[in-house]
A = this chain, B = another copy of it.
Amino acid sequence: MTERRYDPVTGEWRMFATRRQDRTFLPAEDACPLCPTKEGAPATEIPLPAFEVVVFENRFPSLVREPPEPDVAGSALYPVAPSTGATEVVVYSDDHHLGLAEMDVARIARIVDVWADRYSELGSRDDVAYVFVFENRGVAVGVTLHHPHGQIYAYPEIPPRARRELDVAIAHIEDFGTCVYCDVVARERADGVRVVAHNRSFLAFVPFAARFPYEVHVASVRHAASLLDLTDPERLALADIVQRVVVAYDGLFDFPLPYVMSMHQAPTDDGEHQHVSHLHLEFTPLHRTAQKLKYLAGSELGAGAFINDTAPEDTATRLRGVGTAGQ
């Protein structure tokens, strides 16, 4: 069963992919499907002896270019649709232990280039409305493969959280005449107390109303709707700031801090609102202390209302203490 179903109570589409239940689960390092293929050994997912960055289609996809017909018939109350789109894996490095914190910044800039290329290529498809670049890192956020990698989902419609941000941004323009995220960046630069790191083109900060204790957003200082708006020096600056955030995370409790990284860019089928989105990355680690996690429980899951047990100004101070703020 690979199909999408619409929930009439929340107005949200959900993806169903029962084959994913059997996906590879935390294999031993010598059976890693994301490592290069060794001479004489069976091929991994990547039939190359070495590589810099590799992108391939997820073997256990929830969205595909040519989806099967849905198993069930839809209706006015319960619409059903094929799982149109794409799910890709971006392998950051051919070294099982070389992650964003350890590699040269120039190598991270190559990953940024890959993100931009895939955004452009997947986004040009008629059946793709939104390209979502993200990374799940660490078993605490459900990672099933340890090898450093991220993912890209190409959704057939703008997903709920992106839709919400877009609606709020449009309302802000109508009310104030400005991009809300530009206003946020200006305010964070002025206040300074929540800044974690910055360089000429990007600002990393704990959001004023953060959902998670060590949540960090990375935003383009000037208005850019997507990676495609960035110059090469800006792509390098993005690589630099991403590395600084991850280095700060890893130094915080002296272990690689699990996190979800989500990149928010402009929808790719929405010319009218192309200028509204403001490129930013959201890092959401679950830890609230070295031993304790922030769980999404009743208030968050059932009501959508987040409780944060920490002051964003305090967690920003702690992250600045381990990272290197500014250039």
Q: How far is the CB of A69 from chain B (nearest CB, A)?
A: 15
B17-A309 in contact (CB<8A): yes
- A305, CB-defined interface residue at 8 Å: yes
> What is the bound-complex CA distance between A16 and B313, given in angstroms?
12
Q: Give the residue name and chain of the B residue nearest to A284 (CB).
A: B301
Contact of A305 among B14, B187, B294 (CB under 8 A): B14
Query: A50 an interface residue at 8 Å Cβ cutoff?
Result: no
Query: Is B209 within 8 A of A142, CB to CB?
Result: no
The answer to whether residues A7 and B292 also contact, given A14-B308, A132-B299, A284-B301 and a CB cut-off of 8 A, is no
> What is the distance, in angstroms, from A227's C-beta to the closest C-beta of chain B?
16
Residue of B nearest to A208 (CB): B78
Interface segment out of the listed A105-113, A151-159, A232-240? A151-159
Q: Does A30 contact B (CB under 8 A)?
A: no
Given contacts A151-B298, A208-B78, A310-B21, whether A305 and B181 have CB atoms under 8 Å apart is no
The reply on A11 being an interface residue by CB < 8 A is yes
Q: Which residue of B lies closest to A78 (CB)?
A: B208
CB contacts (< 8 Å) of A302 on chain B: these are 132, 134, 161, 260-264, 282, 284
Q: Is the interface of A mostly helix, strand, loop or mixed?
A: mixed
State whether the Cβ of A304 lies closer than 8 Å to any Cβ in chain B.
yes
For residue A136, CB closer than 8 A to chain B, the reply is yes
Report whether B161 and A303 are in contact in the complex, using a CB–CB cutoff of 8 Å. yes
**Number of this chain's copies in the complex:** 2
Residues on A facing B (Cβ under 8 Å): 1, 5-18, 20-21, 25, 62, 71, 75-78, 130, 132, 134-136, 141-142, 151, 153, 155, 159-165, 168-169, 171-172, 176, 180-181, 183-184, 187, 207-211, 260-264, 282, 284, 288-289, 292-299, 301-311, 314
- A85 to B304 alpha-carbon distance, docked (Å): 16
Given A9-B165, A184-B8, A62–B304 Cβ distance below 8 Å? no
**Contact for A77 among B25, B187, B282, B295, CB less than 8 A:** B187
Contact of B298 with A160 in the complex, beta carbons under 8 Å: no
Q: For the complex formed, measure the closest distance between the CB of A80 and the CB atoms of chain B, giving whole angstroms.
A: 9
Asked if A136 and B8 make an inter-chain contact with CB atoms under 8 angstroms apart, the answer reads no
Does B78 lie within 8 Å of A305, measured CB to CB? Answer: no
Closest CB in chain B relative to A265 CB, distance in Å: 11
In the bound complex, residues from chain B placing their C-beta under 8 Å from that of A303 are 130, 132, 134, 153, 155, 159-162, 262
